[in-house]
Amino acid sequence: MKIFVALAAVAVGYSITASAQTERDLDSHVHGAANLNVAIADSAVFIELNTPWNNLVGFEHAPRTDEQHALVDSVLQQLKEPGQLFVFDGGDCRIDSVMLENTMTENDTHDEDHDGEHGHGHDDEHGDEHDDEHDDEHGDEHGDEHGDEHDDEHGDEHGDEHGDEHDDEHGDEHDEEHASEKSNESDESSTHSTVLATYAYNCGEITELNSIDLSLFSLWPGFNELDVQLIGETGQTLVELTPENTMLSLDSVQ
Amino acid sequence: MISVAWKSLRSRWSTALLALLAIAMSVALILTVEKIRRDARTSFTQTVSGTDLIIGARSGSVQLLLYSVFRIGNATSNISWESVEDIKSRNAIDWVIPLSLGDSHAGFRVLGTNLDYFEHYRYADKRALSLASGKHFDDVFDAVIGSEVASQLRYEVGDNIVVAHGTGSVALVEHDQQPFTVSGILEPTGTPVDRAIHVSLQGIEAMHIDWRNGATVKGEGTSAETIRNMELKPTAVTALLVGLKSRATVFREQRAINTYREEPLLAILPGVALQELWGLVSVAENALMIVSVFVVIAGLVNLMSVLLSGLNERRREMAVLRSVGARPAHVFLLLCIESALLAIGGIIAGLVLHYLIVGAGSFYLQDRFGLAVPLTLPQQADIQILVGVAFAGLIAGMIPALQAYRKSLADGLSQKV
């Protein structure tokens, strides 16, 4: 049984040993590729960027050195300021809210934001909150106990030694309430980690909005291709963007 | 000048006609390929409109789209009713249309659904389904049939139909204890809806009541009256069409369903899945297009060879033209006009041929594949193709014309008769 738990923990990651029926259920995870979702509804534009950390910083484990910490923090900061990421052509659009959901560094403390309806107000706090938590709590909780081995052997360790502890800590608040919401976001943290950035814009002249230019490719050379799911008034479509073609035309759905 | 060219062509009408026919056929081919490609896309795109998400068992997005909406292929597995209830109860969801497939009648698919289907399903430009006659189903044994089912099988409201287990046109087991009654006939839509027989989810359950033991025994079926009094609760459906209250929540709902723990489900955006499908199909389309282009080139090469071989026979004619005062430029122009006349004639004949092919073939396509290929005026892409062919024809004609220009006089006079 112990072995099984250990295997399951390695397979599906860190914090789900408590509930879960389809335990070994992993999302696909392709380095270099990422998803961008763009929805235009009424006078608002919603953009979601879902990418493996590898595209942004070149690694997906918890940052180990100060440099890696600094890199992750600077990327998080960049993601929080979408002015550089998305350049709107027309539409008179202003950023309304930003929200980051990050599965790196075993941060299972951000789940309070995962209920079905995300409001807009809490986003900034969330980002900050998350950074703090990651540094403080995480360091205290795991760092002291396990030191360096933690990152490498993380999966086995948790399965064996800390299965119970985690069930107690997170089982109730986390798994049951949020199981259906956030499985793919936290489950892969032992081997892969992703970040989901959500941006909401309000536009004065939504009908004047022609296109969005993305500077992801130039900011982070790790991106090779971006699959964009685009939905708007007149339909849904799929666009593939590459470093050579970074302009997302909205004509087909406006 | 044109009249001279015209008369010159008429004097050699058989070879000219063959050249014209070759161009006509190649033009008809390229136009037809282009039209079917375009109409197939429109037909697919128009089938589902206003649906934000399609949910099915976890498989591929293209596969889910094909079996749920276009009734091509079969589902890998079903969605349990518990999950359906779960999904229905989510806040962001406005309406849910359950689809239950797997039975057939005379080769037409039977679709188990509920009244939400008639209320929320949209096709083409957000058009709702409307009844040509009769009413929606309100009894367990009522069926609403698509326009094509009605016209092909000559059904009218009030007729009884027997539904068969499985989707083959020859079914091994017929649910003949529980005949359904046609309660309504839908207006034609040009989508797979025309080829479906819609019954309630309870109806689907009802026809399987006697099947539950593994097989039916003739004459021992449960009577319709008994079934009506039973509580029929569906256990599973094949797919769900979902409408959301706000478009902004589409991606979040999609993620939530794709990571739903209780059952492996897949939520797709129909428009996005269609786009993926086009990505796959475009390889075949490009191959067809390349073949068509080569056929056009072959037609033009044929035109050139007709003109070139004609030159040999016409050395004297050219010489006579020169001797009566025509300048080399006139000879050049004459041959150019001839080839242009042939090319344009070929294009016009090709258009006519194209419309004949489409007119004759559209019934077959509609019948076999439910693909609507209406006769339409040439689109911009068609006109571009036609202009391209005309230009290529002109260039093909210029090569023999240049040759004639260079040697018209000397050649013709030195010829021994």
Contact B248 A46 (CB under 8 A): yes
A46/B251 Cβ within 8 A: yes
CB A55 within 8 Å of CB A201: no
What's the pLDDT at A126?
A: 41
Nearest CB to B250 within list A19, A181, A231: A231
Structure tokens at A253: 């759905």
Torsions phi, psi for B379 (to 5 deg): -85, 175
Asked if B151 has any chain A CB less than 8 Å from its own CB, the reply is no
User: Above pLDDT 90, what percent of chain A?
Assistant: 22
A5 has pLDDT over 50: no
Q: What is the Cα–Cα distance from B342 to B299, expressed in whole angstroms?
A: 11
| pLDDT at residue number A17 | 37
pLDDT of residue B120: 92
CB atoms B260 and A180 under 8 Å: yes
Minimal Cα–Cα distance from B91 to chain A, Å?
8
User: Higher confidence at residue A224 or residue A21?
Assistant: A224
pLDDT of A112 > 70? The answer is no
Query: Torsion angle of alpha carbons B266, B270, B274, B276, nearest 10°?
Result: -40
Which positions in chain A touch B271 (Cβ < 8 Å)?
A: 231, 235-238
Residues of chain A in Cβ contact (below 8 Å) with chain B: 19-22, 25, 27, 37, 39-41, 44, 46, 48, 116-118, 179-184, 229, 231-232, 235-238
pLDDT band of A129, cuts 50, 70, 90: very low
User: What pLDDT shows up at residue B107?
Assistant: 81
Helix, strand, coil distribution of chain B in percent, nearest 5: 55, 15, 25
Residues of A in contact with B276 (CB under 8 A): 238
Tell me the three state secondary structure of residue B226.
helix
* B124 at A interface, C-beta within 8 A: no
SS3 B211: helix
Is the pLDDT score of A106 beyond 80?
no
Q: Quick check: A254 and A209 in contact, CB under 8 A?
A: yes
- Domain positions in chain A are 2-17+36-253
Name every chain A residue with its beta carbon within 8 A of the beta carbon of B260: 180
The pLDDT of residue B76 is 81
Q: Say whether A118 and B275 touch across the interface (CB within 8 A).
A: no
Distance from CA of B290 to the nearest CA of A (A): 24
Cβ(B215)–Cβ(B173) below 8 Å? yes
Query: Does residue A153 have a pLDDT over 60?
Result: no
CB contact under 8 A, A46 and B262: no
Residue A48 above 90 pLDDT? yes
Say what the ipTM of the complex is.
0.70
Q: Among B76, B123, B66, which residue's Cα sits nearest to residue B274?
A: B66
Please check whether residue B243 touches A, CB under 8 A. Answer: no
Nearest-CA distance from B233 to chain A in Å? 25
The whole-angstrom distance between B110's CA and the closest CA on chain A is 28
Closest-CA residue of chain B to A230 = B272
Closest CA to B288 of B83, B66, B58, B36: B36
| Mutation to test the A interface, candidates B269, B278, B282, most A Cβ within 10 Å | B269
Could A22 and B261 be called an inter-chain contact, meaning their C-beta atoms sit closer than 8 Å? yes
pLDDT of res. B90? 92
pLDDT-derived band at A84 (thresholds 50, 70, 90) equals: confident
> CB–CB of A235 and B271 under 8 A?
yes
pLDDT of residue A105: 61
C-alpha–C-alpha distance, residues B246 and B128, integer Å = 20
Work out the number of other CB atoms within 10 angstroms of the CB of residue A149.
9
Nearest by CB to B248, which of A41, A180, A237?
A: A41
Is some CB atom of chain A closer than 8 A to the CB atom of B276?
A: yes
B203 φ, ψ to 5°? -60, -45
pTM above 0.80, yes or no: no
> Could you give the C-alpha distances from B284 to A237, B32, B44, B287, in angstroms and in order?
21, 15, 17, 5
Query: Cβ–Cβ of B258/A184 closer than 8 Å?
Result: yes
Radius of gyration of chain B (CA): 31
Of B247, B260, B269, the CB nearest to A41: B247
Q: What distance in Å separates the CA atoms of residue B295 and residue A105, rounded to the nearest whole number?
A: 61
Structure tokens that stand for B101 in this block: 């497939």
Which H/E stretch holds residue B85?
Answer: helix B81-88
Cβ–Cβ contact B260 with A under 8 A: yes
> What average pLDDT is seen over chain A?
68
Contact with chain A for residue B272, Cβ under 8 A: yes
> Residue A167 pLDDT > 70, yes or no?
no
Contact residues on chain A for B252, CB-CB shorter than 8 A? 116, 118
What pLDDT is attached to residue A64? 85
Mean pLDDT of A14-24: 44
pLDDT per residue, tens digit, chain B (417 aa), is 778 778 877 888 888 888 899 999 999 999 998 888 888 888 888 888 889 999 999 988 999 999 998 888 888 889 999 999 999 999 999 999 999 998 888 888 899 999 999 999 988 878 899 999 999 988 888 999 999 899 888 899 988 887 766 655 444 555 555 678 899 999 988 888 988 999 999 888 887 776 655 555 554 556 666 777 777 788 889 999 999 998 889 999 999 999 888 899 999 999 899 989 988 888 998 999 999 999 999 988 988 888 888 777 777 777 788 788 788 888 888 888 888 888 999 999 999 999 999 988 888 877 666 677 778 888 888 899 899 999 998 888 888 888 888 775 565 555 554
Any CB–CB contact under 8 A between B187 and chain A? no
With contacts defined as CB-CB under 8 Å, which chain B residues touch A48?
A: 251
Spatial separation of the C-alpha atoms in residues A234 and B122, rounded to whole Å: 13
Between A41-50, A175-184, B177-186, the lowest mean confidence (pLDDT) is in A175-184
Contact at 8 Å (CB) between B310 and B9? Answer: no
CB-defined contacts A:B, below 8 A: 72
**Strands, E, within A83-124: which ranges?**
86-89, 93-102
Tell me, what's the pLDDT at A175?
Answer: 41
Cβ–Cβ of A181/B261 closer than 8 Å? no
What is d(CA A148, CA B84) in angstroms, rounded to the nearest whole number?
A: 46
| B interface test, pick of A115, A195, A238, A248 with most B CB neighbours within 10 Å | A238
Question: Token pair of A245, please?
Answer: 């073609």
CB burial string B289-325: b at 16+ within 10 A, e below: eeebbebbeebbebbbebbeebbeebbebbbebbeee
CB contact under 8 A, B251 and A44: no
Tokens of B145: 């049939």
- Whether residue B247 lies within 8 A of chain A, CB to CB, comes out as yes
